Amino acid sequence: MISPKQSLNAHEIQTWMVSKLAELLNVDTSEIDIHQPLEDYGLDSSRAMLIVTQAEKIFGVEISPTMLWHYPTIAALSQRLAEDVEETNLVGNVINPNLAKIADTSLDLQAEVVLDPRIYPPSTSFVFNPHPTAVFLTGGTGFLGAFIIRELLTQTQADIYCLTRGKTIEEGKNKLQKNLAQYYIWNENLSHRIIPVLGDLSQPLLGMDEVEFTKLGNTIDGIYHSGAMLNYVFPYAAMKPTNVLGTQEILRLACTGKLKPVHLVSSVAIFESDYYAGKVVKEDDEFDHWEGIFLGYSQTKWVAEKLVKLGYSRGIPITIHRPPLIAGDSQTGVCNTDDFINLAIKGCLQMGCFPDVNYMLDISPVDYVSKSIVYLSLQQKSLGHAFHLQHPEPVPFMDMVKWLQSFGFPIEIIPYEEWQNRLTTELVTPENPLYTLRPFLLERWSKDKLTVPDLYLNAHRPQISCAATQQALAESSIRCAPLDSKLFITYSSYLIQNGFLEV
């Protein structure tokens, strides 16, 4: 067994990483290829960071969250770590628990908004089709994408062509089925309408050849773009190929063959610039300010949405949908247990304390988000507009904590600074999900040296209005389930039942 801060060479580090990865994936070590990017093993950022943070503790070096991007394979990462270990031993460095981060000041997001000049609508005029027979969806193997599939199956008669990463169509089909089944959505009788399309957002023409791309462009009547790389620690450059260039390829597809609308799943994160702090932002307001958006993920969402707006100015029909954090299904409670809200709640419960913070609970149930996106996409008057899928009746974050207390979870409420201090101490071990989120929670950004959670405090946030969206939904039967104890009982019951939370 390797003891903490032991001096190791690259081969020993490699062996340790292979065994850790195999343990995490529940496979034999022989199945791990040290030259395969960790991302290909389906590791999301929090699970990849679990290995990294354990390594940090054991090898006694600080591992920058971006190192995984620069050194994506076990072979490359072990080599780099061995060099760091050697250097640390020479100069006697110690781990700095208060991870400090200097923002990449050279990044000009406005200059990133460059849309290939060849992407222009064909000369034929656009006719809106409220009854599409075929649509294309990205992100169908993800959380929101699964629920968009459910809504497309119920609100339309369309076949749904789903972009799927995989080597064979069979593999793509299985991936989609497994994902839908996990969210209680798989319906064998409707499965013939779900058609996998192999490809990759980060590749030119989505990884297809020209013939396939053109055929797809001629087949579909609309595009739902929900696919994206969600990662709280990687820099802009790591996510640009998927989130920014992928969106450019989606706009290219919209103009290939007949012109078709693009329904973009964006995010309220596009308003993270401190310019908007304390201001009311409405759906169709401009969002030209990007200075002060620190997360690489949010930066890519800002640029991607700007590209779509640029496409609109060239004549591509669009709708834009900005969800807040997406919570579980309000009826079944089923949710993505790997997402930020659930990991944060689980981590705080394990710590036995929550920070006393002045946040509004910025969440909407996934069924509300997906129903709204599909309904709004089918209304001609939605074209050219953005929608805010915020909860129309938000509640303070502390209400949720009090509900959790009343359910019997033993929770202490402590000042935010004390909670932050506890995060950096030995009390939070690598088994706690918050441990892997430490780079996101503790890195200090901006001239005021604030952490990202500091920036989310009400004082630093805009008020995101959803009045126009509520108006646009008024004639539908879509209503957002209230954020009350009934909803939280549904959510916690699901999380307890599937073993994610313990009482």
Ligand X SMILES: NC(=O)c1ccc[n+]([C@@H]2O[C@H](COP(=O)([O-])OP(=O)(O)OC[C@H]3O[C@@H](n4cnc5c(N)ncnc54)[C@H](OP(=O)(O)O)[C@@H]3O)[C@@H](O)[C@H]2O)c1
Residues of this chain that interact with ligand X (CB under 6 A) are: 138-139, 141-145, 163, 165, 200-202, 226-230, 242, 265, 267, 301, 323, 325-326, 336, 339
Question: Residue 55 or residue 206: which is nearer to ligand X going by CB?
Answer: 206
Cα–Cα–Cα angle for 238, 243, 247, rounded to 5 degrees: 145
Question: Residue 353 or residue 483: which is nearer to ligand X going by CB?
Answer: 483
Question: Residue 60 or residue 199: which is nearer to ligand X going by CB?
Answer: 199
Contact yes or no for 244/112 (Cβ under 8 A): yes
Question: Residue 129 or residue 203: which is nearer to ligand X going by CB?
Answer: 203
Contact yes or no for 185/147 (Cβ under 8 A): yes
For the CB of residue 359, give the shortest distance to ligand X in the complex, in Å: 15
Question: Residue 244 or residue 265: which is nearer to ligand X going by CB?
Answer: 265
Residue identified by tokens 């973009």 is 264
Plot region of 274 (φ>0 → left; ψ -120 to 50 → alpha; else → beta): alpha
Cα–Cα–Cα angle for 36, 40, 46, rounded to 5 degrees: 115
Number of Cβ within 10 Å of residue 75's Cβ equals 16
Contact yes or no for 179/147 (Cβ under 8 A): no
How far is it, in rounded angstroms, from Cα 76 to Cα 155? 48
Residues in the chain: 503
Separate counts of helices (H) and strands (E) for the chain: 19, 15
Contact yes or no for 479/487 (Cβ under 8 A): no
Question: Residue 260 or residue 301: which is nearer to ligand X going by CB?
Answer: 301
Question: Residue 85 or residue 225: which is nearer to ligand X going by CB?
Answer: 225
For the CB of residue 228, give the shortest distance to ligand X in the complex, in Å: 3
Residues forming a β-bridge with 356: 415
Question: Residue 63 or residue 197: which is nearer to ligand X going by CB?
Answer: 197
For the CB of residue 136, give the shortest distance to ligand X in the complex, in Å: 12
For the CB of residue 270, give the shortest distance to ligand X in the complex, in Å: 10
* 3 state SS of 45: helix
Q: Residue by residue, what is the 3-state secondary structure of 256-278?
A: CCCCCCEEEECCHHHHCCHHHCC
Q: What is the DSSP letter of 195?
A: E
For the CB of residue 199, give the shortest distance to ligand X in the complex, in Å: 7
Tell me which residue has its CB nearest to ligand X: 142
For the CB of residue 200, give the shortest distance to ligand X in the complex, in Å: 4
For the CB of residue 111, give the shortest distance to ligand X in the complex, in Å: 22
For the CB of residue 326, give the shortest distance to ligand X in the complex, in Å: 4
